[in-house]
Amino acid sequence: MIPRPEPSRREFGEGGHPRPTIVRGDGASLWDDRGRRFVDLGATHGVGNLGASPPAVVRAIQEQAARLIHLGSGYASPVRTEFLEKLLGLLPPSFGRVFLANSGTEAVEAAIKIARSSTGRPKVVAAMRGFHGRTLGALSATWRRELREPFLPLVPEFVHVPFNDPAALDAAVDERTALVLLEPVQGEGGVHVATAEYLRAARAAADRSGAVLTFDEVQTGLGRTGRLFAFEHARVVPDVLVLSKSLAGGVPIGATVTTPEIESRFRGSHHSTFGGNPLACAAGLAALDLVVRERLAERAEKLGRVAFDRFRSLPPERVREVRGLGLMIGIELREKVAPVLAALEANGFLAIPAGATVLRLLPPLVIDAADWDRGLAAISEAIGGG
């Protein structure tokens, strides 16, 4: 067994919860230090869409590491160019500019700066229950009070409107609004799917007022919801798209994608030392290839449908609602989710919560159909649906 750190020495803010010690992964399987296998139904918090250590990404990292690990962004890099071309090639033609960072939060920060600078306006309209990260700018757009309160004051001029209420959104967006920031499916906030009507209203409000419409697809992007990007469901194209989590197959990366037109109005500068480093770009290139070649978005839609069919028989006295799109699924219980998570873990399945009462499923899109089936059966059993 791997020794655990001394209790007096541990990571900052780690609650000391007894969690399994994970030492290895393959596809949707994770093994602990005693050789026990778990099926990961949480895709390591939405990062592992392609599984734990996708071989094509591993090879790309190994080859790039041997060639060149880091390069300042002031120099041209073939792998960065190739990655950006590949990414933009998967997006509508209106997009033509990408800022690369190292995390979702940083990519959101860039979106906030791009919107404020390019419009010369201060106000940001975000949604209740939204999650956009934890640095002070991104945290100002995040809704949950417990995450915000210890760090007040946050950045001024952020307002939150009820999610899926087109009229409230429209009323909040005015000529002082720089940015309308939404998740097409709210992840951390409990897996709430935006209606097409809501996203269309956001598009119209931004067009009317001159605000920058930004979709935070850090969790929903790259095939998770059954389309390559979640905005494709409603066919509403934003001005800025924020990506991260699974974009480089598990290597830290964040991307803020926007239009040449918005770039032309941007004043000031924005930069990151590690953003767009060759290692992340090589991993990202391999990851994008894999998502497209293996048609993982279609797979997410298909396996998602299997789950929704199955969950129809969950008992209404335990389950309030099942929500989601593709392989991004939330089961809202009428009770706390923690005991269900513990029961699943004891059975060899790792899942994650979204708030106190929602069981969140974000399995790797490459999960074996048989593992998925067994996982769904284990969930039904843990919830009490037989």
Ligand X SMILES: *Cc1c(COP(=O)(O)O)cnc(C)c1O
* Residue from 103, 118, 272, 357 in contact with ligand X (CB under 6 A): 103
Q: Is 131 a catalytic residue?
A: yes
Nearer to ligand X, 304 or 371 (CB): 304
**Which residue's entry shows tokens 């296998």?**
37
- Among 104, 330, 353, 363, indicate the residue that binds ligand X (CB under 6 A): 104
Name the segment binding ligand X (CB under 6 A); options: 67-75, 130-138, 307-315, 373-381.
130-138
Output 251 or 383, the one with its CB closest to ligand X: 251
> Catalytic residue among 83, 123, 231, 245, which?
245
267, 302 Cβ separation under 8 angstroms? no
Distance from the Cα of residue 206 to its chain's centroid: 23
- Which CB sits closer to ligand X, 187 or 353? 187
Interaction of residue 238 with ligand X, rule CB under 6 A? no
- Kindly name the residue from 38, 83, 131, 311 that is annotated as catalytic: 131
Site string for ligand X, 210-229 (x = CB under 6 A): ------x-xx----------
Q: How far apart are CA 55 and CA 51, in angstroms?
A: 10
Residue 270 or residue 310: which is nearer to ligand X going by CB?
A: 270
Among 216, 229, 349, 371, the active-site one is: 216
Return phi, psi of residue 79, to 5°: -70, -35
Which range of residues in 22-30, 103-111, 299-307, 326-334 is near ligand X by CB under 6 A? Answer: 103-111
Q: What is the largest CA-CA distance in the chain?
A: 61
Q: Tokens 């404020």 — which residue?
A: 116
Q: Which residues are bridge partners to 328 per DSSP?
A: 325
* Minimum distance, C-beta of residue 55 to ligand X, in the bound complex (Å): 24
| CB-based burial label for 146 (10 Å; 0-12, 13-18, 19+) | exposed
Site for ligand X in 298-327 (CB under 6 A): none
Q: Is 258 exposed, middle or buried (0-12, 13-18, 19+ CB in 10 A)?
A: buried
**Is-catalytic flag, 245?**
yes
Q: In this structure, what token pair is assigned to residue 63?
A: 């080859």
Measure the CA–CA gap between 314 and 341, rounded to whole angstroms.
Answer: 16
Smallest gap from Cβ 185 to ligand X, in A, equals 9
357 part of the interface to ligand X, by CB under 6 A: no
Smallest separation, CB 244 to ligand X (Å)? 5
Binding mask of the shown chain, residues 131 to 160, with x at each position contacting ligand X by CB under 6 A: xxx---------------------------
Annotated catalytic residue 95: no
Number of residues that bind ligand X (CB under 6 A): 15
Copy the structure tokens of residue 59: 């090879």
Distance (Å, whole) CA 142 – CA 18: 28
Q: Say how far apart CA 312 and CA 85 lie, in whole Å.
A: 42
Contact flag: residue 105 with ligand X (CB under 6 A): yes
Regarding 83 and contact with ligand X (CB under 6 A), the answer is: no
- Cα–Cα dist 57/287, whole Å: 6
Edge-to-edge strand ranges of the sheet holding 358-361: 319-325, 328-333, 358-361, 352-353
In the complex with ligand X, which residue's Cβ is closer, 198 or 376?
A: 198
Contact 97, 261 (CB under 8 A): no
Q: Catalytic residues, which ones?
A: 131, 216, 245
What residue ranges bind ligand X (CB under 6 A)? 103-105, 108, 131-133, 183, 187-188, 216, 218-219, 244-245
